[in-house]
Structures are given as structure tokens and as C-alpha cells.
Amino acid sequence: MTRPAPVPSGGGQGAPVLVERDGPVCIVTLNRPASLNAVDDAVAAAVGQALDSAATDPDVRVVVLTGSGRAFCAGADLKAIADGRGPGLHPQWGFAGVVQHWVPKPLIAAVNGPALGGGMEIVLACDLAVADPSATFALPEVTRGLAATGGGVLRLHRQVPLKIALEVALTGETFSAQSVLRWGLVNRLSEPGSVVHAAVQLAHRVADNAPLAVQVSKRLVHRAQAHEDTWDPAFWRRCAEEGMRLSETADAQEGARAFLEGRVPRWSTS
């Protein structure tokens, strides 16, 4: 199905962050191509605000994060740090306004090029990821006497095998999109040059489903991942409570009716 072109909804072309809408999909673009979309405090605040607005906008169901130009994100802007413009850390939402920012709606990374350091940590904070075949990934912090404390050392081992995570974190080496696809760090590779289109298509596939059910599913998956024992009765009670609340919504009734009537559901909540 052909979808309308995205419509700008925030920031001029010279703004460090662009926000567009493609129906229920919000596209947030880091827009500092000359610096490979490196993040300073202004970028972190703008991205965080865009995510906060999307979280509370009933018409937004999925968010796509990407970069302009040839890079996704080169991490913190070292020049900005030297100039006193900050390391790209938001006091509430963490690096880039993303890595400590819980958004109830799904986030999809459209990795159009290098995702280095904090850039890779943004990918780790997203729920899904699509990568261009030319994209590269690295946590080079150890090569600079630092550690990937923006989520790299906390999340990578939860998303790929432990020894792979340690190789990435301890060597600082750069890995290809094909490698991270094998690890399961990204969901799929796009055709060359079309990663945003592919990510938006995936976003629409998610957005076609019942919004509250999607949000509950995201929340339970994240809680289950962090839960040490999924046999714990307390965790099962929480799942049952969430499921019961969903079953009582208008969308649950609409989903059943639409199935029986052989038509596309018309969701009423978000």
C-alpha cells in the first residue's frame, strides 16, 4: 500500500533535530550531518522533548529514530564538550534524551550509517532496529579510557550472547551490519539507501494493531526481560492483571467483532 510522504511537524531544516509525521508514525531525525549527528546537550533536550510529545500524543503510535546524512550517530560531540556545550546528557532522560527515557510506545531505530559509542547505545534503547547494509556499530569507549555507561554495558549482554557483548565492549572494534544482524541486535537490513522507508513500513505494521495492546505487550516484555524468575507467581499475577484490563477495553471487543465480520479493526484508543 502506498503511504503519504511524511509531513514535517517540528523544527526547520536547520534545526538539530527534525520531527515528521507519517500518519501514526513519528519520525525523529538527528540533523547534524556535518558532525555525523554527534550529540550535545541541545540535541539531547530536543530529542527527549520529541519523544515526550510522541508519548502523550494520542495520534502517535510508533516512533522511528534516525540520522541525517551518512551517519546515524557518532556518539557524544567531543568538540561540544571542549566548548562547554555539554556531553549530550539530559538530567532526566540520559544520553541523547533517549537512553534513560521510558517511552510507552514502540521505538524503532533506522540505522542509516555508523552508530558509534552513544549512537550504538541509542540503538540498544530502541525496541526494534532496521539497518542499512553499510551501517557499522561500535562501543569504542575503552579505546579512549572510558566505558560505555550510556547503556552499552547494561543492555548489550541482554540483546546478544554474553561473549559477543564482551568482545564489543572490551575491544572497541567496529562491526558490520551483517554481523549485528547475525547476533540479533537488529531485526533486518534494508535495501541500500532505504532504511528509513523500511523502518517506517515496519512501524506501520506495528501501528496497525491495537494501541493499548501494543503498549502493554512492550511493557510486559521489558519487565519479563528484567525479571530474574519468570516462574515467580507475582510476575504471572501482573501479566494476568494487565490482560484482564485489556480484555475489558473497547478495542478488545472491536478486535473480536472485526475478526468475526472479516474486516479491518477500527481501534478507538491509543
Query: What would the grid cell of residue 9 be?
Result: 511537524
Backbone angles phi, psi at 189, to 5 degrees: -105, 145
**C-alpha distances in angstroms, 62 versus 175, 189, 241?**
28, 19, 24
> Rounded to a whole number, what is the largest CA-CA distance in the chain?
63
Rounded CA-CA distance 28/67 in Å is 8
Annotated catalytic residue, options 121, 191, 228, 254: 121
192 by Cβ neighbours in 10 Å (0-12 / 13-18 / 19+) ranks as exposed
167 is an active site residue = no
Rounded CA-CA distance 266/254 in Å is 7
Annotated catalytic residue, options 20, 141, 241, 248: 141
Cell 531505530 belongs to residue: 109
Q: Using only C-alpha atoms, what is the Rg of the chain? A: 19
SS3 content of the chain, % helix, strand, coil (to 5): 45, 20, 40
Query: What would the grid cell of residue 240 be?
Result: 494476568
121 is an active site residue = yes
Query: How far is CA 93 from its chain centroid?
Result: 14
Element (H, E) at 195: helix 195-207
> Which residues are catalytic, by number?
121, 141
